Structure formats: structure tokens, C-alpha cells
Amino acid sequence: METIQTDVAIIGAGGAGLRAAIALAQADPKIRIALISKVYPMRSHTCAAEGGAAGVIKDDDSFEQHFHDTVGGGDWLSDQDAVEYFIHEAPKELIQLEHWGCPWNREADGSVAVRPFGGMKIKRTWFAADKSGFHILHTLFQTSLQFQNIQRFDEYYATDLLVDDGRCQGFTAIEMRSGQMRCFKAGAVVIAGGGAGRMFPFNTNGAIKTGDGMALAYRAGAPLKDMEFVQYHPTGLPNTGTLLTEACRGEGGVLLNKDNYRFLQDYGMGPETPIGKPELKTMELGPRDRVSQSIWHEIQRGRSVKTAWGDCVWLDMRHLGEKKIDERLPFVRDICISYLGIDPVKEMVPIRPVVHYMMGGIHTDTKAATSLPGLFAAGECACVSINGANRLGSNSLVEILVFGKRAGLSALDHARSQKPGNDAALTTLADAAQAKLRALFMRNVGKESISGLRKEMMDTMEEGCGIYRTQESMAKTCDKISELRRRYQNVALHDKTNVYNTDLLSALELGSMLDCAEAVAVGGRERKESRGAHQRLDFTARDDSKYLKHSMAYYNGLEPPRIDYRDVVITSSPPGVRDYSGAKK
Amino acid sequence: MSDNRMEVRQVELEVLRYNPETDQEPKLQKFTVPCVNEWCVLDALNYLKDNLDPTLAYRWSCHMQVCGSCGMMINGEPKLACKAMLRDYPGTIRIEPLAHFPVERDLVTVADDFMAKLKRVKPYLIPGQPRTLEDGEYKQSPEQLKRYRQYAMCINCMLCYAACPEYGLQPKFIGPAAIALAHRYNQDSRDGGRDERQEEIATNEGVWECTFVGACSEVCPKHVDPAAALQQVKVASTVDWYLEHFMSWVKK
Ligand SMILES: Cc1cc2nc3c(=O)[nH]c(=O)nc-3n(C[C@H](O)[C@H](O)[C@H](O)COP(=O)(O)OP(=O)(O)OC[C@H]3O[C@@H](n4cnc5c(N)ncnc54)[C@H](O)[C@@H]3O)c2cc1C
Ligand code: SF4
Ligand code: FES
């Protein structure tokens, strides 16, 4: 097997992975950096982010307020030391991107413009029209091209971490073009593999968001944290799940039920604000978990809009007018016209909540180190945790920058402090990974199909781990996933060739999703309270006496994960009440 | 909202298949796929892969016209499969890999040449006046932003290369998207790297190769208008040439 020897290897070239690579290249032009991605970097799903990125920059804002919005938004499950580090680094990272050329929207005086976002008390979201993530990703990718010591391996799929002597020293990956396996040996490894929303049927995530990064770390013994917290975004297109950014509401769009009534006022987010005058942290600018849950209740009460794609509510943006929509939300308009045939300038758009983001992920400390020495993680695949039980919109584009950089630099420190590894032992591990793959190729096609198992997984995840959950629904899903993971052992490939074998990729991605799905379902079943995005009909209140804790899921082979708990770090904000009514001041 | 959006119809697809390990040459394969009317071509391919033939290879990810993965020839025209709506294709739909690129397998092309060209034009900010983080952001007025924003919209989908007759004839041509990207930085008020970039793009392999057919701008799904960028670079480099050769005494 061909071996690539490098100082730091990064799995994932989305926002987090690219930021890590640049930080490393700038820290030392002599170190070797290998950047591996299963897609070309600019195809990474960071490109899909629309709304923007939060960082304190304006005079009316303060670190303290960003801190409180984030911690309260996360229903006090965020680690407050991590949040403190995050909010202080955020503006520096956003300015750094500005210096690298990111086309942020501007005020008339040439300074960077900010927009309001859900759950944020002050306008602090930097944006580049409604293509913020796209511009961040391309700015990072293009910036990375000037560094000779970033060696890219585009369209390489990482399969197994190599752990010897109690530390991570590399991984194996398949080169898609040749189908050959390669062995990457490194002083330290950073995982920046992105989210796992594709385990649900209706989601805003790209095809690549299959939780590979999480599964890689998990199988190698690093625990996954808070996996039960899955964010639903309130405004997805009902047929494709395509996201309509929160900025639709930030700019003044409103949500209506079938009677054209702004129902959010019935769920503690009122009183009603005048049309076209959105007020921060109120009504349509409440946090995502609350808004999505309110839509669910409207559906239960029979006040939803019936459409060919199921129960919806209306998103009305007509009063914004064509000019503002074209200037601030041009992409939203394009998408609505393309996929629904509806022009938001003229008509109301039906929407429904859609799976969007994983708050949970690979457990890391504030230095982005996982529990496995030599392994670091950042971005959506990691859980530091700044997002707690519910991420605030526009915090994660900043998280990928702040902790991407952190992960890169921490990995460098680690790599420099290590003695060379045992080459022979690593080669043996790599050979074992290759043998596993060969066995998959040899297996004869039976009755299990990849797409069939995938569909069963998605259905049970939606049924058991949706917006509202119960003991019974989650227990059923746990059993089902456990069954699917066993049946997955019999999955075989139809395609036994080497070049760009996407049948193989689908099989491996399904394996990752099933592992992540089990951690979500078991973590949810065991958390007998309601907090943030984890809402239960049988335990409706938050229970700080028992669950002011992170869940930690440990891989356990074909058995369900072992769940352990870890205290939340509280520095200055004791758990309080989340208030999103306009009445409070 | 009652209309025919949710109707299912049988759509005939002719898909180019080529596996270098098993095939002598590419061939078209026919499939009949039950499709919902409101689907795009990518949905039809996904149905095909999940239900009819798991060996089909193609690239996609975002399904929202922004990742740039799913460029292919649809009835002979370069399109994003996630933007090509079935309602616009009443008959048989022929799907082939992007023209002018080597085929890696089925609908997957080899993108090495494009990636190398992107890198060549130095598509990153070379600051005119470097700033530290403590200095804060560069000031840039909305008008200054507007001068380059359109050229920053490129999703690297490569449709313009598949449409460009010059690139088809002369693969050394740097091509529309890379030149538009260089122009994007040249036009940015924060940038001072124009001279370095001109060395790459104001050459025969650069803008002078372009015969201004304009096909690139027509197929661009993001309205980047690379043809306009090429034209502006040409004009600017003509001015440079005159300044250098005839006007040098003016500077002295
Ligand atoms: C539609 C949408 C809109 C959003 N809008 C916003 C917003 O406005 N504001 C905000 O703050 N956040 C937003 N988010 C969230 C945010 O965009 C993401 O959380 C963030 O971009 C994730 O970045 P990442 O670098 O962690 O992962 P990604 O960008 O997804 O990158 C993951 C990388 O890992 C690689 N990879 C994965 N598995 C493997 C493997 N096995 N081998 C090799 N490589 C692998 C992939 O190729 C890819 O390069 C949005 C998310 C979505 C889906
Ligand atoms: S210029 Fe347009 S067509 Fe060409 S790669 Fe960019 S987005 Fe695609
Ligand atoms: S799938 Fe991303 S552009 Fe079509």
C-alpha cells in the first residue's frame, strides 16, 4: 500500500478543515500538511450556508451579550469556558476572513454590515447577501492555494483511523479515481468531517453529510457527546427540504397558519410585532427549537396549511418588496421559483421544519483535542460544546473558523512533541483496514440493499427522534437501528470495479450513519427531560438536578453504545429561564 | 396549489456509460424512470441509482445549485442537474459528462486541468496595503463591493468550459471561470496583485485566446458573466501594452 508520510493530516476540507490547514501553513512553512476530502473542497457543505456568521463588532454590542444569547439559546448545556473563548475569537476570525477577501455586505460608510438573527438580542450577524457560507468556503479555499505546504488529496475517502501506542497516528483512505487504498501516517490527525443530517429523510444537508468523521473517531474509542440534540430548522421547502435561511425572518418575513394568523404569539414569543418591524428575540426571531416546536403544535391543532407535501405553515415575505428581496435574499427567491414554482415576491411560501444541524459530535475540550491523544476535531462533527442543546443560527460558521484554527495549532503542538511511531505496527493496522474492505467486495449480493436499509433508517429516525419524542418512540427506534446495524453486516456491492465506485461509497457512508443514528437514539432515550432541541412528551420539563450534563456515547461494537455523563462547565451564568417574549426588557 | 406538479410520469433517460476497467468505449444506456413532474434531473438520477442501477457514477452533493458538483450535458447543453427541471424536458433526456473534459467514469469527468488553472491565476487577495487584525476591517463601500461581487459568485461548476469552443480546440486556454476569478481580485479595492495576475492571464493562453463567442456567459448558472470579465481584461491589457511601449516617456 502506498504510504503518505506527513506531519499533520486533516480529514475534511470544508470550512473547518481549510481553516485548520491555513493556520498550520502560516504557523510553519516547513511542516507538511495533508488535506484529505471526499469531495473537492469547494463542494463541501459549508457552501450551502446562507444566513451569516455572528461576531461582536458594533458599538451597541458586547461580548457579554453574545455570551448570554449563546448560553441561554443552548438551554444552559453549553460549556461556558468554551463559549467565552469562542465569542472573543469570533470577531478576529471574521476580520481575518475580510482581510482574505470575503465579500461581506457593507454599510454606506464602508464598514461591515450586520443583520438580525433568531435568538440574538443584538444585530451581530455578518453576511454576504444570502450566500455567506459559500463566500466563506471559497475565500478559504482560494486563500489556501497560496501555501505550497498544503498538499491536497481531493476525492479521497477516509475509512479507518490508525491507533497505536494509545495515540492516533494516521488513517487509511480510498483514492476514488483509482479505487486504491492509501495509508496516511501523521504526527497528529484533525477530523473536520462535517455533520450527519442525512440519517433523516427530510433534511437541509448535502449528500456528503453522512457523519463519517464522527463515526471514524467513535469507532476508534473517542466518545460522541450530546448526540441526542438534533436541530430542526423551521423553514424548509416542503418538497426538497431546501433551506430558506433564517434571514428571511431576520429581514422581516412572518409565519402564518392557515387562518393567516401569526401563531408564534400563542407560544410565549409574543406579543405580536408590527409587520415589517422585526424585533430581536421576539416572535419570528425566536430561537429555532421554539419556532419549530410551535409549528408542530399548530399541526396537532389542525391549524396548518394542507399541501401536496404534507402539513405546512406559510412564510410571508411579500411585504419586503422585490427590491429588498433581490438585494438581501436573491438566492431564496431563485430556490423558491426553481423547486416550488412560487415567487416569494408575489406569493406566500409553504414551509415545514426540517432536520438541519447536529449539536452533538466528537467530544473535544476547548483546545479541540478529543479524548484520544493525537486526534483533534473541529466544525460540525465536533462538540466543544458551544451550542449546547440548541445552536443559535450564525454561530456555527464562526465555530468552524475559531475551532478549525485551534485544532490545527493544537495538532501541531502535539505532532512536535511526539517521537516517531512504530511503522510496522501502523502498516499492520492499515493492512487490516484493507482486508475489511476486500471482504466487503467479496461478499455476494443477498437480499439487503444499501438504499433499502438507508430508507428504513431514515424512517425510524423520523418516527422516533423527531421534534417531539417519547420513551416508547425512541426505544422502538433504538431496537430498529440495532437490527439495521446487524443486517448491514450482510450488505454487498453490486459494483465490484475500482474507478470512482460510488456504490462502495454509499455502503461505507451508510455504515457511518447507522453508527451515529444509534448514538442519537440511545442518547435521547436515556435523557429523561426536555431541553432545547430534545423535547419529550413524557418528560416535559428541564431537569437540572439530573441532566445538567453532557451525554457521552462510547462505541461498543455491534452492541448499543455505553452512555456516560459529564458535568457542564458553568462559569458565570447559572441555569435560568429562556425568555423570548417581547414583553421582557 | 392544485396543478400537475405531483403527477408521476415515465421519463426516458439516455445516460452515457463508461467504465475504463470494463468498457472499450462509451455507450448510451436507456432507462425508463418514474418521475414526479416537479423533480429536477438530479432527482431522476438519484431514483435511478437507488432503484434501477447502483453502479451509475455521477457527482452531486448540495441539491441547491451552489456546490457546483453536478454539471453535465443535458440534451447537449451544459447544465447543473439540480437546476434542470423535468418540466422543461418533455421528451427523452440525454445525459452525458461535461464536454471538453476527459471522462473518468460514466458522468464523472477529470477536473485536474480546471483545478490547476484556478490555482495558476493566483485567486487570493494580495493586499495593496497590508493590515493587521488590530487595524480592523478594510473599508469598502457598497459601490466598490459591486465592482467585483458578480465575479465572486462562481461556483466552479465548469459549465463554461464545456460551452467554450476555444477551450475545446485549445486546451491550454486558461478559460472563462479562471479568468473571471482573476478579474474578481483585480477589481477588489483591497487588492494590489493585479500585475502578478496579468502575467498569467494577459497572454496568449490567457485572454488573447478568447474569440469572444460569449457561450460561457450564456450557460453560466450564476450570472457571473465571464465573457465580460475576459473583455475587460483584454481592454485593460491593451492599455497596459500602450503604456509600456509608447507612453513610457510620459512617466519619465
Ligand atoms: C443549508 C444550510 C445553511 C446553513 N446556514 C448557516 C448559517 O447561515 N450560519 C451558520 O452559522 N451556520 C449555518 N449552517 C451550518 C454550517 O454551515 C455548518 O455547520 C458548517 O458549514 C459545517 O462546516 P464543516 O467544515 O464542519 O463541514 P463541511 O463543510 O460539511 O465539510 C465536511 C468536509 O469533510 C469531508 N469529509 C467528510 N467525510 C469524509 C471522509 N470519510 N473522508 C474524507 N473527507 C470527508 C467532506 O469532503 C468535506 O470536505 C448551515 C447549514 C446548512 C446545511
Ligand atoms: S463562471 Fe459560471 S459557468 Fe463558469 S464555472 Fe463559474 S459558475 Fe460555472
Ligand atoms: S448538487 Fe450542488 S450544484 Fe447541483
8 Å CB contact between A424 and A265: no
pLDDT in tens, A488-527: 999 999 999 999 999 999 999 999 999 999 999 999 999 9
Atom of ligand 2 at shortest range from CA of B156: 5
| CATH numbers and ranges of domains, chain A | 1-49+135-229+359-548 (3.50.50.60), 235-355 (3.90.700.10)
Question: Rounded to whole angstroms, how far apart are CA atoms A441 and B21?
Answer: 16
The stretch A570-581 carries a mean pLDDT of: 89
Question: Rounded to whole angstroms, how far apart are CA atoms A374 and A185?
Answer: 12
Residue A114 φ/ψ, nearest 5 degrees: -125, 155
Task: Report DSSP state, residue A400.
Answer: H
**A560 versus B235: which is more confidently predicted?**
A560
Could you give the residue ranges of the DSSP H alpha helices within chain B?
41-51, 112-120, 142-149, 159-163, 165-169, 176-186, 194-201, 215-219, 226-245, 248-251
Q: Which of B45, B49, B66 to mutate to test the pocket of ligand 3 (most atoms within 8 A of CB)?
A: B66
pLDDT in tens, B136-185: 999 999 999 999 999 999 999 999 999 999 999 999 999 999 999 999 99
Question: Rounded to whole angstroms, how far apart are CA atoms A282 and A581?
Answer: 5
8 Å CB contact between A537 and A468: yes
pLDDT at B251 (0 to 100): 47
A39:B133 CB<8 A? no
Question: Rounded to whole angstroms, how far apart are CA atoms A129 and A102?
Answer: 12
Question: Which chain B residue has the Cα nearest residue A309?
Answer: B6
Could you give the residue ranges of the DSSP H alpha helices within A114-182?
132-144
| Fold of the domain spanning B8-109 | Ubiquitin-like (UB roll) (3.10.20)
Q: Which of B224, B225, B230 to mutate to test the pocket of ligand 2 (most atoms within 8 A of CB)?
A: B224
Give the residue numbers of A annotated as catalytic, written as ranges: 233, 249
Q: How many CA atoms lie within 13 A of A46 on its CB side?
A: 37
pLDDT at B252 (0 to 100): 41
Question: Rounded to whole angstroms, how far apart are CA atoms A210 and A206?
Answer: 9
A99:B133 CB<8 A? yes
- In angstroms, what separates the C-alpha of B140 from chain A's closest C-alpha? 4
Question: Rounded to whole angstroms, how far apart are CA atoms A365 and A161?
Answer: 20
Least confident of A167-171, A273-277, A439-443, B247-251: B247-251
pLDDT bracket for residue B6 (50, 70, 90): confident
The residues, ordered by sequence, that sit 6+ positions from A557 with a Cβ below 8 Å of its Cβ are none
pLDDT in tens, B55-105: 999 999 999 999 999 999 999 999 999 999 999 999 999 999 999 999 999
Average pLDDT, chain A: 96
Least confident of A443-447, B38-42, B117-121: A443-447
Atom of ligand 3 at shortest range from CA of B82: 4
**Bridge partner list, B27:** B17
Query: Secondary structure of A530-545 in the HEC alphabet?
Result: CECCEEECCCCCCCHH
Best to test chain B binding among A499, A503, A506 (most B CBs inside 10 Å): A499
Sign of CA dihedral A400, A406, A410, A411: positive
pLDDT at A585 (0 to 100): 43
Residue A280 φ/ψ, nearest 5 degrees: -60, 145
Between chain A and chain B, the number of residue pairs with CB atoms below 8 A apart is 164
The residues, ordered by sequence, that sit 6+ positions from A405 with a Cβ below 8 Å of its Cβ are A19, A20, A22, A23, A89, A93
Estimate the crossing angle of helix A63-73 against helix A80-99, to 10 degrees.
120
3-state class of B11 per DSSP? strand
**Which residue's alpha carbon is nearest to atom 31 within ligand 1?**
A14
- For residue A374, pLDDT beyond 80: yes
Q: Which residue has the cell 483546545?
A: A367
Say whether residue A138 is in contact with chain B using an 8 A CB cutoff.
Answer: yes
Question: Which chain A residue has the Cα nearest residue B192?
Answer: A101
pLDDT in tens, A226-260: 999 999 999 999 999 999 998 899 899 999 999 99
The residues, ordered by sequence, that sit 6+ positions from A129 with a Cβ below 8 Å of its Cβ are A105, A327, A328, A329, A330, A331
Q: Which residue has the cell 459601490?
A: B143
Question: Rounded to whole angstroms, how far apart are CA atoms A570 and A76?
Answer: 8
B61:A40 CB<8 A? no
Residue type, A123: K
Q: Which residue has the cell 480510498?
A: A174
Cα dihedral A316/A318/A319/A320 (nearest 10): 100
Question: Rounded to whole angstroms, how far apart are CA atoms A437 and A431?
Answer: 10
8 Å CB contact between A437 and A124: no
3-state class of A553 per DSSP? strand
Q: Does the beta carbon of A396 lie inside 6 Å of ligand 1?
A: yes
pLDDT at B248 (0 to 100): 55
Closest to A438 measured CA to CA, from A488, A484, A513, A498: A498
All CATH 3.10.20.30 domain ranges of chain B, comma separated, are 8-109
Q: What cell numbers appear for A408 in the block?
A: 490545527
8 Å CB contact between A535 and A287: no
All CATH 1.10.1060.10 domain ranges of chain B, comma separated, are 112-246
Say whether residue A308 is in contact with chain B using an 8 A CB cutoff.
Answer: yes
pLDDT at A388 (0 to 100): 97
Chain A from 430 to 459: CB within 8 A of any B CB:
449-451
Closest to A383 measured CA to CA, from A564, A191, A187: A191
Closest to A355 measured CA to CA, from A231, A245, A229, A193: A231
- In angstroms, what separates the C-alpha of B68 from chain A's closest C-alpha? 6
Estimate the crossing angle of helix A450-464 against helix B41-51, to 10 degrees.
110
pTM of the model: 0.97
| B112-246 CATH | 1.10.1060.10
Question: Rounded to whole angstroms, how far apart are CA atoms A294 and A291?
Answer: 5
Chain A from 393 to 432: CB within 8 A of any B CB:
none
Burial of A149 per CB tally in 10 Å (0-12, 13-18, 19+): middle
Task: Report DSSP state, residue A442.
Answer: H
3-state class of B80 per DSSP? strand
Average pLDDT, chain B: 93
Question: Rounded to whole angstroms, how far apart are CA atoms A6 and A4?
Answer: 6
Q: What cell numbers appear for A181 in the block?
A: 487504498
Residue type, B146: K
- Residue-wise burial string across A175-206, b where 16 or more C-beta atoms lie within 10 A, e elsewhere: bbbebebbbbbbbbbbbbbbbbbbbbbbbbbb
Say whether residue A350 is in contact with chain B using an 8 A CB cutoff.
Answer: yes
| Furthest C-alpha separation in chain A | 70
Closest to A415 measured CA to CA, from A27, A17, A19: A27
8 Å CB contact between A36 and A11: yes
- Asked casually if ipTM beats, i.e. exceeds, 0.85, the reply is yes
Question: Rounded to whole angstroms, how far apart are CA atoms A394 and A133?
Answer: 10
Say whether residue A494 is in contact with chain B using an 8 A CB cutoff.
Answer: yes
Residue type, A386: I
pLDDT bracket for residue A119 (50, 70, 90): confident
Estimate the crossing angle of helix A502-526 against helix A450-464, to 10 degrees.
20
Closest to A401 measured CA to CA, from A137, A210, A80: A137
Question: Rounded to whole angstroms, how far apart are CA atoms B177 and B219?
Answer: 12
Atom of ligand 1 at shortest range from CA of A50: 8
Q: Which chain A residues contact residue B63 at CB under 8 A?
A: 206-207, 240, 242
Question: Rounded to whole angstroms, how far apart are CA atoms A219 and B59?
Answer: 28
The stretch A178-191 carries a mean pLDDT of: 98
Q: Which of A124, A174, A397, A512 to mutate to test the pocket of ligand 1 (most atoms within 8 A of CB)?
A: A397
pLDDT at A319 (0 to 100): 96
B63:A207 CB<8 A? yes
pLDDT bracket for residue A449 (50, 70, 90): very high
Ligand at minimal distance from the CA of A204 is 1
